[in-house]
Amino acid sequence: MNDELLKLSCSQLCDKIAKGEIKSSDAVNSVFEQIDKHEGKIGAFLSLYKEQSLQKANQVDDKINKGQSVGALAGVPIAVKDNMCATFGATTCGSKILENFHSPYNATVIDKLLADDAIIIGKTNLDEFAMGSSTENSGLKKTANPWDLSCVPGGSSGGSAAAVTAQMCFAALGSDTGGSIRQPASFCGLVGLKPTYGRVSRYGLVAYGSSLDQIGPLTKNSADCALMLGVIAGHDEKDSTSVDEKIAAKCDYLAGIDKPVKDLKIAVVPELFEGADNEVVIAVKGAIEIYKKLGAEVIEIKMPYFEYAIAAYYLIATAEASSNLARYDGVHYGYRSKNAGDYIEVYAKSRAEAFGTEVKRRIMLGTYALSSGYYDAYYLKALKARNLIRSDFTSAFQKADCIIMPTSPSTAFKIGEKTADPLQMYLSDVYTIAVNLAGVPAISIPCGFDNKNLPIGLQIIASTFEEEKLLRIAKMFENQTDFHKQKPRNL
């Protein structure tokens, strides 16, 4: 019973709980049994709430027994990346500087999950303040990829991806600043969606790059992704970057997901395949052939400014990080050095002792880019490049419904393989970063495996606020393949 229950998708479990065929308490007990078996070697979670989860599950079961209405995620165990504020447990951002921080309020997405009767079982590990591509930059613990424990799960939402892959929850939330949902989804054989900027409220998401950050789901399939997005999306007056209420009207993304996109036109950029591993290229081109057989037209396009995305991103993101992380000063909240003599030392030593190497590197890069004499030469130039990159996407979507490319140039790499070379680590996000600069939605879905049986991700990108179309395009591929159904053999 336990194994069969864990194999269910999020939407399947919702349906069975709502019909009374499965109890929410059984689902919660099953995932905690799985956590007891595998968490020690995977390290996906920073905090767990078993007692609280069982209490909430019993409440959901009681509602259903009494015939009362329940939410869209009633009784489903969900995990949340630990950079989203919650009044229960600590919100650490994977950093020693916030190791004992307890938020006085919930992020909007947390309130939305709870309002729809989801069971939040725990907070997941991440690269410190979401700065990384492998979850190796966490200041609190390391996370392994369930497909191969010697490999990284991707980052920065590696804990959320590993938790879903290892069947320690049925879906999870991550955040995506430059690929931090899609790349872990690719490495772990999941579906990961980065919504349009402003589609999902950022209120209560601890900021890294405010103009880039976006919350989204990591799930077993595209239908689950649609279900999760329907719960967390929508206008929020607490978030000044949240889109207008008319644009963000509540949408049932799941309702039409099985309806194929008629006269689908796909754009590809041939030059972008040159930087990917051969097995990745073969898998992605194989996926494109499947779409052709389904009647899609494939056209080749140019995106001349795409090559500037990495440089522009690491100037804009680090500049915003430099500003956002200035609040962690050893005075207002968080870690305070015990070795400081005056307030200058409190500020300097607290940050020096509690921030990790990558966070310090990005703060210094951002501070330099914003400093007097360098603002115009670096930061302003990066903003101009961002507008040109956005124009590439605008032009592409005048010709096609979507753009297809790899999610990552490789499959999951070994733990420790790239930590000594930050530039190589940054380049692992080469295909995902431009999407955040443009603010458009993108999804990663499994499209194959390499010779080591590690998953390969296919990235599909659509125009702003076209998540419904994006999910339908993803589902078209899933209906023809079973890559999304494959699970690690050791689980």
Instruction: Give the integer Cα–Cα distance in Å for 177 and 438.
Output: 12
Whether cis (ω within 30° of 0) applies to the bond prior to 156 is yes
- Which of 23, 56, 81, 475 does the annotation list as catalytic? 81
Angle 278-293/467-478 helices, nearest 10 degrees? 100
Query: How far is residue 29's CA from residue 43's CA, in Å, rounded to a whole number?
Result: 19
Say which DSSP state 261 is in. P
Burial class (CB in 10 A: 0-12, 13-18, 19+), 342: exposed
Q: Which two tokens stand for residue 218?
A: 């990591």
Out of 133, 175, 180, 350, the active site residue is 180
Q: Can you give 295-348 as a three-state secondary structure string?
A: CCEEEECCCCCHHHHHHHHHHHHHHHHHHHHHHCCCCCCCCCCCCCCCHHHHHH
Is-catalytic flag, 156? yes
Report the alpha-carbon distance of residue 12 to residue 165 in Å, rounded. 17
Catalytic position from the list 156, 201, 242, 444: 156
81 is catalytic: yes
- Geometric angle at alpha carbon 288, from 299 and 11, rounded to 5°: 125
Burial of 255 (0-12, 13-18, 19+ CB in 10 A): exposed
Q: Considering only CA atoms, which of 412, 440, 443, 430 is closest in space to residue 181? A: 443
**Burial of 422: CB neighbours in 10 Å, binned 0-12, 13-18, 19+:** middle
Phi, psi of 75 (to 5 degrees): 80, 5
Strand runs labelled E in 321-469: 402-406, 442-449, 455-461
Does the annotation count 180 as an active-site position?
Answer: yes
81, 173 contact by CB (below 8 A): yes
**Number of Cβ within a 10 Å radius of residue 89:** 17
Neighbours of 289 (CB within 10 A): 11
The answer to whether 442 and 420 have CB atoms below 8 angstroms apart is no
Distance between terminal CA atoms of the chain? 15
What are the distances in angstroms from CA 344 to CA 329, 331, 347? 10, 11, 5
- Among all residues, which ones are annotated catalytic? 81, 156, 180
